[in-house]
Amino acid sequence: MARTKLTLLILPEDSKKFSQLRVSNILIFSLASFVFLSSLALCAILYDYYKLKRAMPNIQALNDEILNQRVQIQAFSKRINTLKSQISLLRDFEKKIRILTNLDQSHNQEAVFGVGGSALGDLRARFSVNEKQDYLMRKMHEEMDQLYASVTIQEKSFRELYKYLEKQESILRATPSISPTVGWVSSGFGYRISPFTGLKEFHRGLDIAARPGTPVIAPADGIVSFCGNKGTYGKFMIIDHGYGIVTRYGHLKKFLVKPGWRVKRGDKIALVGNSGLSTGPHLHYEVLVDGIPVNPKKYILN
């Protein structure tokens, strides 16, 4: 098949001569195809550029959000480590208190309370942005779980310590520790010769000689359980301090409190007298622990 050609005549305006240009159809088709394909490629490039330009604000916003999240995570990680350090100090303080109070230290908090570094320090450069974000979030959850477990155990331990110290404080308030009146001991605790019979007898308390009307004070916190006459003791009072501790007062002149009243250490409860079987004005003072008389001198610290 013969190849067809296209002849172009070029006629200048100022000349009668003309020029001829013969171009084959294949060349024209190739040129047209090149122009067409180039136009398509240019349109595709322009379309992609337009899409990218429209997406740029969203990409920038996403990058800003990722950066902001990383800053927040870093700050949060620092706060977690600060809290860990503070809880560690509290734990050390609690250990010292337990040692001083001889309280059991059976709680093992070390296993769930390891103070570590920042989560950001564990990242590697080979991680992608998404992988870094996922890693940071997992790390934060792990840190929070550990912190929650540590706080829970520490709270339980402090509650136990608080209850123990509260009980000890209550016991101290209920334990007689001061002299119930001002005077001098005329007869001690234990066996003695009775001033009335001349026979050997067991004296259950202290006799504190004092002027009539001298105030009698409560040696510890407690509740007045009895006020009334009791045989040779005359006007007699009993205070229940709890924890098995009871104090008793005899030969009183006057009661200043009534049964059921709650008294505190140092409160005036009665006046020294000479009621009952007595050789002179004095206070008969007894201390009983679990119903057994003990030497009151052991409970007079002032």
Domains identified in the chain, total number: 2
Q: Phi-psi category of 251—alpha, beta or left, where left has phi over 0 and alpha has psi -120 to 50?
A: left
pLDDT digits (tens, 9 = 90+) for 107-116: 444 434 443 4
Identify whether residues 88 and 167 lie together within a single domain.
Answer: yes
In this structure, the answer to whether residues 84 and 169 fall within a common structural domain is: yes
Q: What is the CATH number for 206? A: 2.70.70.10
- Tell which of 139, 174, 209 closes a domain: 174
Do both 245 and 169 map to the same domain? Answer: no
Last residue of a domain, one of 174, 208, 231: 174
Domain membership of residue 41 (yes or no) is no
Q: How far apart are the C-alpha atoms of 25 and 6, rounded to whole Å?
A: 7
In a domain, 115, yes or no: yes
Interior CA angle at 125 toward 124 and 127, to 5°? 75
Q: Residues 145, 196: one domain?
A: no
Written as six digits, the tokens of 244 are 């098995």
CA dihedral 226, 228, 234, 240 (to 10 degrees): 10
Domain boundary among 174, 204, 224: 174
Q: Domain containing 268: what range?
A: 184-299
Length of the chain: 302
Shared-domain flag, residues 205 and 148: no
Residue 62 lies in a domain: no
260 and 190 belong to one structural domain: yes
Q: What is the pLDDT of residues 3-18, one digit of tens each?
A: 566 666 666 666 666 6
User: 160 and 193: one domain?
Assistant: no
Whether residues 198 and 270 fall in one domain: yes
Is pTM beyond 0.75 here? no
Q: Do 99 and 168 belong to one domain?
A: yes
Q: Report whether pLDDT(105) > 70.
A: no
Same domain, 292 and 191: yes
Give the model confidence (pLDDT) of 153-208 as tens digits. Answer: 877 887 888 788 888 888 989 999 999 999 999 999 999 888 888 888 899 999 99
Q: Is 204 among the domain residues?
A: yes
